[in-house]
Structure 1
Amino acid sequence: MAPYSACIAQTPQIKVLNTTVPAEQKAVSLKSLHTEVQVYGNIATTVMTMSFVNTSSRILEGELTFPMPDGVSISGYALDINGKMRDAVPVEKARATEVFESIEHRRVDPGLLEKVEGNNFRTRIYPFPAHGTRTVKISYEQELHFSKQLLSYRLPLDYKQPVPEFSLKVSVLESNEQPELVEQPDGSFSFSRKGTAFIAEMQRKDFVPKHGLIINLPAVSGEKIAALMQKAGSSYYFLTNVPVNASSRTHTWGNQIGLIWDVSLSGLQRDTSKELALLDALIREKKNLTIELGLLNNTFKKGGTFIIRGGDWKALREKLANLVYDGGTDYSNVSSALFKADEYLFFTDGFSGFGKSSVALNKPVYTINSSLRADFNQLKNISARTGGQFINLNELSAENAFQQMSRDEIQFLGVKNNPGISELYPALPVRVGGYLSVAGLAASGTENLVLQFGYGKEVILERRVNLNAAAQSAGVIDVSKIWAQKKLADMDLNYEQNKDKISALGKQFGLVTRNTSLLVLESVEDYIRYGIEPPEELRDAYHQVRKGQIQHKEERKNGLMKEAIAMAAELKTWWNKVFKPEKLFPKPEKKVVPYTVPATVGYDQNAAADIVVRSENTNIRRERAEPGQALYESVVVSSAAMSKISGRVADSAPGKTRAEQPVIIVPEFKSDKAYMNKINGTAENAYQQYLAVRKEYLTTPSFYLDVSNWFQQHKEADKALMILSNLTELELENAEIYKTLTYKLRETGQIKTELFTSGKVLEWRPMDAQSYRDYALALADCGQYQQALDTLYAVLNQSYSMDNADRDHGIEEIILSEINNLISLHRGKLNTGKIDKKVIFNLPVDVRVVMNWNKKDTDIDLWVTDPNGVKCFYSHNRTSAGGRISNDFTSGYGPEQFMIKKAIKGKYRIEVNYYGDNQLSISGPTTVMAEIYTHYGSADQQRKIITLQLSGEQRGGVFIGEFTF
């Protein structure tokens, strides 16, 4: 992965996804950067055109990630296709991901730009040809905010390596006063007047900017307040900036302040010096107060009570300066139960990756952010609901921020009754700090509107805005997109209620939202096949082809019910069959011999028709471990997995003594990574050693898994969970990482968080059957059996792309087993009226082993060897003893399961065989979760779970557990 700072850097950062080779990770670099900025009034349009070169001899995939300022959404995206720039079109987010991945597998040229959590964006580009280049163009409109009669525009240029071709052009249109350059790239950038505009430009070779670009622009003065207009049919979009010079009220701070300090891993990226300066300003003003400190990561703990007299807060400052930032963030743990306060100061970035994002506080909360990667809407939502304020320290100095906090500003209350005005935003009351920006729709002929301001519901001030149709933007500024961004920001405060409207608005205006992405496809045929309206340049060709015979149209699988009914009948036949395996005598054990499976023993000649010979059409599997091949002499797992009950026999089931119970044993895996040699001794010493090593592995998922495993095995469950929760801080909306986390939480019994993380994966990847299954299993773990049953049944009734349906062929067997297990164990609590009776049957079995993994395009096999030495696996999927392996998944997430109705006595050995992967995305080694059940579907059911990571060197079978009947 890229360095941690790259995830939240101001400038766009490229990283290579489909390689772990260090040289290839650095093979893609910025070749050219051309930026053009136009400022008109208080609206700035920025267009960045970036070309990247791949110096390696392999085709690679790249991911470009960058944060955007508060309230700004990307409105334009283009990618070079066959040497020409092609504009993207808006598509529903999950659908865009599904189409992108489908086309990506055909090795052609899709491009996808999506919004991830907070106001952060990423674009996935494939392919980067060997020794070739790709070009990306991104544009956005930004509303500049007023401060002390000035507008400020900022463009970060934090490039550490020379940019071979660099150019920058800024045009300030219709301006009478020269802009002020507060900060500029190299000292030579300057404005000159050209007509009614001021223009500055530069071109450089092999350029490393010394600074970013900050421009101050004087606000337009004048008695009459006018609006910028843009005609739309019989109406006009308008945008106006209204000066509000009303006196504010001094805020009276309480004597009891609650200070909530986010100490999660992402806190390393906050500007804590600026945060401390803000806190210092408040204490100097108040002088005498009591501050209750709460420390938030995956838990919420009291950090101490600090009684401050005469402004002396040395003890608190030292405490804050020496905090350790570690763990994920769970806002749902924040409540007033820890301590009471008159008001709360909440220093955080708005991300709650380890739990729900709401906080249970009913006093004013001042949310304060100093991180460039932040969820601004979430922070605004928390402060707005509690009557506090959102403070953005990226835009304000500590002193100005305190002044803002210390004044109860007048509020915009709405517009005076005017039937010609509609869709005015902001729609909710908002604080006004000198200026207010308003956008809306005006019917033709509407000459003005009156904005009202006051405190509470009392109107104490009005401002009249002139709507002059002649004052149109003449195409320089797209006022409609600024209006759409304001409407989106308003709706996003209640995302769940408005997500369908947000999606529709994003599509209409080409804006990237939480559930709308921008997609570029290679050919007209692709747009037709996937039912996506193309950009303007391809419209004519698109409609001409559609008029004729359409040869290619996307095929979809509308549910798996037909296959499920057929599989139910097959399972019933298998379960009713009586198996009589040949009795074999055990062989004497040897201490050091490679584990082998006899090539002939135990094979049922009558079951020859059931032996599957896998075709070689996949480019994943190159080698096979057939019966008779040595599997291993010793097992070394390169990345550890932890188990809450590793190495211990599972608890006895009801009604049976331990002697009568099948014994399930899983090994205690240990990592062989070099950094684990540095972690030893007492738990406290080991934790300090972990912190010392961590800076070298800050973005490595397996590092946190390994160390978490160490603490789990040493009975330090709280520290293990905190370290594990760091996975949520590494990358935004990474489903593979969250799948790994879900497996680990399931294994260790953290069922509340397991439900949350599996729910996030379902939100991000609703196109995958496995997302529903993982969420259903978490629901069942939490005792929500009806919802679990409904979610499992939904897998059989979803619509899937043919690519995903083919990839997941056979998943019906696993889903049917789990549906019927729920019904068998909880029949009295379930309503099964909506479930087809043909798929309901009682299927108790002595043994069930089920395995799934976190990455697509991965080929992993489950092997189970019975006491007779007979191995049940993909090419011998039925045994004479009655063992069966489900369908072989060679490119999906699994799952694969083994079942045997009547287990023969003796020891069963469970292994996983990792053939490899053909994936384009790397987030650490592939993680496997195996669940071992005995007496599945009966009152005596037992379960043991093991999660481990596999690497490409681990072929030939990795032992993961055994059980004895």
Structure 2
Amino acid sequence: MKLFKTLLILPLLILANFAQGQMPVLKIQQAESNQQNDAVKLKKLNIDVQITGNIATTVMTMTFNNSSSRTLEGELTFPMPEGVSISRYALDINGKMREAVPVEKAKATEVFESIERRRIDPGLLEKVEGNNFRTRIYPLPANGSRTIIVGYEEELNFNNGNFLRYHLPLDYNQAIEKFSLKTTVYESILKPELGEQPDGSFDLKAKGNTYVGEFNKTNYQPKIGLTINLPKRNDLPEVQMQKASNGYYFLVNVFPKSVSRPRQWSNQIGLIWDSSLSGLQRDIKKELALLDLIIKKKQNLTIQLGLLNNGFKNAGTFTISNGNWTALKDRLEKIVYDGGTNFNAVNSRSFLAEEYIFFSDGLSTFGRNSIEINKPVHTINSSLKADYSTLKYISLKTGGQFVNLNSISNSDAFNQLSQENLQFLGIKNGADVRQTYPSMHVNVNGNFSLAGILNNLNTEFVLQFGYGNTVVTEQPIRLNATEHTLSSIDISRVWAQKKISEMDIQYEANKDDISILSKQFGIVTRNTSLIVLENLDDYLRYDITPPTELRQAYDAVLKQRRIDILERKTDLLNAAVDMTKDLKTWWNTDFAIKNPVKKREEYPRPVVEEMRVANTTQVADRMAVNTPPLPQASPVVMPRPLANNNNNKESEDKSALNEVVVVGSTVQRRRETTAAISTVRSMAMNKSLQGKVAGVQILTSNRILVEKQPDIIIPEFKSDKDYMKNLSGKPDSAYQAYLKMRPNYISTPMFYFDVANWFYQQKDSVRALTILSSIADLDLENADLYKTLAYKLKQNGNYSEEIFITQKVLQWRPMDAQSYRDYALALADAGQYQKALDNLYKVLTQTYNNQTADRDQGIEEIIISEINNLITKHGSKLSTKGIDRRLIMPLPVDVRVVLNWNKNDTDIDLWLTDPTGEKGYYSNPRTKIGGRISNDFTEGYGPEQFMIKKAIKGKYKIEVNYYGDRQINISGPTTVTAEIYTRYATGKQQRKVIVLPMSADNKSGNLVGEFNF
């Protein structure tokens, strides 16, 4: 009897937008609805702010109370301001706060999920796309509470006038039982001013040069934020120092005077407007106001508008006279924001301008994040969830400016764009300082700070500022460790954050150095997370250095039994070799079949001019193991070529193209047809070429005929959701209905899936792809959503997009065998067969921890079939030197069905009922007629596979049984994809793909498809 334990776990989503006043809001979101639940509340909140010079450290201690009788997992996702990274994370373990330690991101995710399944208390904080962060806390106990601490350092920006500005948003939608706020400003010569305050009783009181404000409230609902303006003297540099192992870390803050130098705008401007779904989160009014200032300044110009989402569209040219841009503004205000984002879609060849303005959040969710433009591109961001590094890189690479409207006013942004900005150019006489950051030219907007390392006790050097390469002003700096009071903040961490921020602009080139630095200083980056584990054994088991409190015990045990306690790693290669032997035995078995059908030739191989060719491909000759012989093929008679008649040859080819019949997607039919024609041509020219088009016969009438394929019938999926009732009529009106309904389902993935599916069925593939790609904009680094997206892209022949999506999942989850497989199959779909083969083989050679290897036991059976299919079909184009020869064995079969799903910790079963009425499934994996079901996966992502070498005549029925999952995220229902093949790994292969959302209440099986042999 099959057992599946369903855990009573609901997803807890906590959204916090610190930078604009939307503070932590707790939601309980069911898998398929937006139903709210008040069971979990923020019970206590303590905020401690410390400001020294231009650096503010904010630490938030949050206690969440779960009043329900169910165990929950917490997820807290929030954006951070430009250049800010989280550097502290702690979780309560057994009543005490335990500090997190830095670990490689992929390893941290793997360890967290491994421990979570054991129902032990891990905590994880990671950086997701852009400058956005996510914590995962498990468990939030029933009728209990958990406490977390999140801390970060922030470099303050210069505001209008001579002020540095600190802002803490405090806008909550519920009362907090215990709320406290304390702010301390150290070593301030001038008294700080309160721009806004949460309560009339809050004030900053002087204690010498230190100013302190504090208040405590009960059952308090904060609505107004805290803003502190710190006046600065521009004639007085600020210096902070901290002892290093070799020298001193230092941070210098100066306020250089600048003389404006106007910059002339071009007459031809290209306006790239990000119109993807995430555009709804931008401050469009502020962006339009900035554009208004630019146009009013220039007065007369031509603007070419380009709209960017999952594709790119030239939206017209607007000639502006005397600053009148009404037509363009009206067009921008009517933009419909929809679809994912693909920066790589920008077509500069048909979108020419002298300089460009690009309004976007920098998150390219549906394609590579690069724009191929060789003219200045000014990047403008107004979104909280932004990828600042990408926007900076685009502007830096092209000679443009990056403007962050979240941190400066429109007038300041306009001045930055319309003037030749004063820049930091470098250091003079800096022999006694090293590792100074920033190390490149950067704009100076009122103030400039430099961090570095002093070699000795004291030195003097000069900061140089100017325009281009011309120095116009200098600022002398004097460092003296005996005179300067050592800072109360961690200068080393500020220095590390500055260095990481600069390296992150070119992440791929610097990712290894970023990883080393972030682990050394405990800073969360793209490839490093912070993790908290419950006990010493877990730190030992996963080879993670624990926090200080456990370090002594960790070191003592490590010396004695490190080899015994480390989580062992293994690959799947040996299991794959054993599985190949098992498959060989199965393939060679002659299954006794009742009521045998008339014998027919199986898997014919082409023969050139009545010459028989060896078994399958050239690869077979190189095999190190004995392979099962294929049945003898009937000869294929080649037509006589028509000598010296190119026109007739072209006519023959076109006729042949029209006569090829292959069932599948349009793209697939075209590829397979072209491949067949190409192969036949090659056969005619080269008698030594071995067979590649089994089943193709060339007749003297110069027509190519393909033997009739079995009919694969898959049901047309139709959602029964209420919103589908509003989609009817022509696609234009249906699209307007979709837009009207969308606000009610804005964060529901299946809404976009269902609506896109309707448009695909109406043959409106352009709108369908736009709507479908919106799923990529719903959540940051959500592998479950991207897997669903990849399945649908595969089904509809969008193979280049499928490659990008599966590659992102592989980047996020390299610990999963299925990530390599999905990416490999996407490459194969797109015709990149060598890369596909290499990545399939990686599934078997990657190392996995014991738990993951046990979870995915049996996947090697599927991989072996797919590796040999590639070699059989494309062996002459592939290098197999790196493949273990023991795995190479042709496995042509009449039927192959393979099932995948998008969620981890999920139990789904493949059922196949043959014409005799026998059902193959996990309890009956070997059927009487030779059907073979692969291992039953009760966790992980699958896959499961059915194969039969010789199919008897009759109807075959394919079903999926969904037992349930243990998921706690917001990615919607579990979605499966089934690939149905007939005559797999032969020259007559056909494939159909179906993608289906699963319903847990259907225990009798979901029909996937059927076919007749």
Distance change >3 Å, CA 226–CA 53, structure 1 → 2: closer
Matched residues in 2 for 1:234 and 1:373: separation?
38
Q: Give the equivalent residue in structure 2 for 1:454.
A: 466
Displacement of 1:930 in angstroms is 0.6
**1:525 is matched by which residue type in structure 2?**
D
Of residues 823, 828, 835, the one that matches 1:775 is: 823
Distance change >3 Å, CA 551–CA 4, structure 1 → 2: closer
Q: Give the equivalent residue in structure 2 for 1:670.
A: 718
Matched residues in 1 for 2:885 and 2:563: separation?
39
Matched residues in 1 for 2:436 and 2:253: separation?
13
Q: Give the equivalent residue in structure 1 for 2:971.
A: 923
Q: Give the equivalent residue in structure 2 for 1:250.
A: 262
Matched residues in 2 for 1:5 and 1:333: separation?
31
Displacement of 1:651 in angstroms is 8.7
TM-score of the pair, normalised by structure 1: 0.91
Q: Give the equivalent residue in structure 1 for 2:947.
A: 899
Distance change >3 Å, CA 847–CA 20, structure 1 → 2: closer
**1:277 is matched by which residue type in structure 2?**
A
Q: Give the equivalent residue in structure 2 for 1:954.
A: 1002
Displacement of 1:158 in angstroms is 2.0
Find out whether 1:39 has 2:51 as its counterpart: yes
CA deviation map 1:172-226 (0-9, x unaligned)? 1111322111122133322111232111111112222231111111014435x35
Find out whether 1:199 has 2:212 as its counterpart: yes
- Larger displacement relative to structure 2 (872-881 or 804-813): 872-881
SS of 1:109's equivalent in the other structure is: coil
Find out whether 1:109 has 2:157 as its counterpart: no
1:403-418 matches, cutoff 5 A: 403-418=415-430
Distance change >3 Å, CA 51–CA 527, structure 1 → 2: same
**1:719 is matched by which residue type in structure 2?**
R
SS of 1:660's equivalent in the other structure is: coil
Displacement of 1:337 in angstroms is 2.0
Find out whether 1:337 has 2:349 as its counterpart: yes
CA deviation map 1:271-320 (0-9, x unaligned)? 11111111111111111111111111111111221111111111111111
Q: Is the 8 A contact 1:910 1:959 kept in 2?
A: yes
Of residues 746, 752, 757, the one that matches 2:794 is: 746
Q: Give the equivalent residue in structure 2 for 1:695.
A: 743
Displacement of 1:233 in angstroms is 2.2
Q: Give the equivalent residue in structure 1 for 2:62.
A: 50
Q: Is the 8 A contact 2:493 2:521 kept in 1?
A: yes
Displacement of 1:237 in angstroms is 0.9
Distance change >3 Å, CA 659–CA 6, structure 1 → 2: farther
Q: Give the equivalent residue in structure 2 for 1:267.
A: 279
Q: Is the 8 A contact 1:14 1:62 kept in 2?
A: no
Matched residues in 2 for 1:756 and 1:960: separation?
27
Q: Give the equivalent residue in structure 1 for 2:231.
A: 218
1:317-716 matches, cutoff 5 A: 317-472=329-484, 474-549=486-561, 553-583=565-595, 655=696, 657=705, 660-716=708-764
- Larger displacement relative to structure 2 (555-564 or 856-865): 555-564
Q: Give the equivalent residue in structure 1 for 2:924.
A: 876
- Larger displacement relative to structure 2 (187-196 or 261-270): 187-196
SS of 1:803's equivalent in the other structure is: helix
Distance change >3 Å, CA 489–CA 338, structure 1 → 2: same
Find out whether 1:717 has 2:765 as its counterpart: yes
Of residues 227, 250, 254, the one that matches 1:238 is: 250
Find out whether 1:81 has 2:93 as its counterpart: yes
Structure 2: 5+ residue stretches without partners: 1-10, 598-663, 677-692, 698-704
Matched residues in 1 for 2:95 and 2:29: separation?
23
Q: Give the equivalent residue in structure 2 for 1:626.
A: none
Find out whether 1:126 has 2:121 as its counterpart: no
Q: Is the 8 A contact 1:649 1:663 kept in 2?
A: no
Q: Give the equivalent residue in structure 1 for 2:887.
A: 839
Displacement of 1:338 in angstroms is 3.0
Matched residues in 2 for 1:507 and 1:914: separation?
41
- Larger displacement relative to structure 2 (700-709 or 143-152): 143-152
Q: Is the 8 A contact 1:3 1:699 kept in 2?
A: no
Q: Give the equivalent residue in structure 2 for 1:786.
A: 834
CA deviation map 1:486-512 (0-9, x unaligned)? 100111011111111111111000000
Matched residues in 2 for 1:789 and 1:12: separation?
46
Find out whether 1:853 has 2:865 as its counterpart: no
Q: Give the equivalent residue in structure 2 for 1:145.
A: 157
Distance change >3 Å, CA 730–CA 527, structure 1 → 2: same
Displacement of 1:243 in angstroms is 2.4
Q: Is the 8 A contact 1:16 1:61 kept in 2?
A: no
Displacement of 1:94 in angstroms is 0.4
Matched residues in 1 for 2:535 and 2:784: separation?
30
Matched residues in 1 for 2:308 and 2:36: separation?
38
Distance change >3 Å, CA 955–CA 176, structure 1 → 2: same
Matched residues in 2 for 1:650 and 1:218: separation?
68
Displacement of 1:787 in angstroms is 1.2
Distance change >3 Å, CA 226–CA 850, structure 1 → 2: same
Distance change >3 Å, CA 18–CA 564, structure 1 → 2: farther
Matched residues in 2 for 1:699 and 1:216: separation?
37
Matched residues in 1 for 2:569 and 2:12: separation?
38
SS of 1:11's equivalent in the other structure is: strand
Q: Is the 8 A contact 2:580 2:887 kept in 1?
A: yes
Distance change >3 Å, CA 7–CA 213, structure 1 → 2: closer
SS of 1:190's equivalent in the other structure is: coil
Structure 1: 5+ residue stretches without partners: 586-642
Matched residues in 1 for 2:38 and 2:801: separation?
36
Q: Give the equivalent residue in structure 2 for 1:912.
A: 960
SS of 2:805's equivalent in the other structure is: helix
Q: RMSD over aligned Cα, in angstroms?
A: 2.2
SS of 2:257's equivalent in the other structure is: coil
- Larger displacement relative to structure 2 (87-96 or 232-241): 232-241
Q: Is the 8 A contact 1:18 1:919 kept in 2?
A: no
Aligned length: 907
Matched residues in 2 for 1:23 and 1:959: separation?
30
Distance change >3 Å, CA 772–CA 18, structure 1 → 2: farther
Q: Is the 8 A contact 1:15 1:62 kept in 2?
A: no
Matched residues in 1 for 2:344 and 2:37: separation?
37
Matched residues in 2 for 1:21 and 1:400: separation?
43
Q: Give the equivalent residue in structure 1 for 2:803.
A: 755
Matched residues in 1 for 2:875 and 2:253: separation?
63
CA deviation map 1:457-516 (0-9, x unaligned)? 333433221112135553511111110011001110111111111111110000000000
Matched residues in 2 for 1:111 and 1:702: separation?
29
Q: Is the 8 A contact 1:331 1:355 kept in 2?
A: yes
SS of 2:845's equivalent in the other structure is: coil
Q: Give the equivalent residue in structure 2 for 1:159.
A: 172
Distance change >3 Å, CA 253–CA 874, structure 1 → 2: same
Distance change >3 Å, CA 891–CA 413, structure 1 → 2: same
Q: Give the equivalent residue in structure 2 for 1:933.
A: 981
Q: Give the equivalent residue in structure 2 for 1:172.
A: 185
Matched residues in 2 for 1:551 and 1:560: separation?
21
**2:711 is matched by which residue type in structure 1?**
V
**2:188 is matched by which residue type in structure 1?**
S
Q: Give the equivalent residue in structure 1 for 2:843.
A: 795
Displacement of 1:446 in angstroms is 4.3
Q: Is the 8 A contact 1:14 1:65 kept in 2?
A: no
Distance change >3 Å, CA 650–CA 283, structure 1 → 2: closer
Q: Give the equivalent residue in structure 2 for 1:620.
A: none
Find out whether 1:59 has 2:71 as its counterpart: yes
Matched residues in 1 for 2:86 and 2:498: separation?
13
Distance change >3 Å, CA 708–CA 553, structure 1 → 2: same
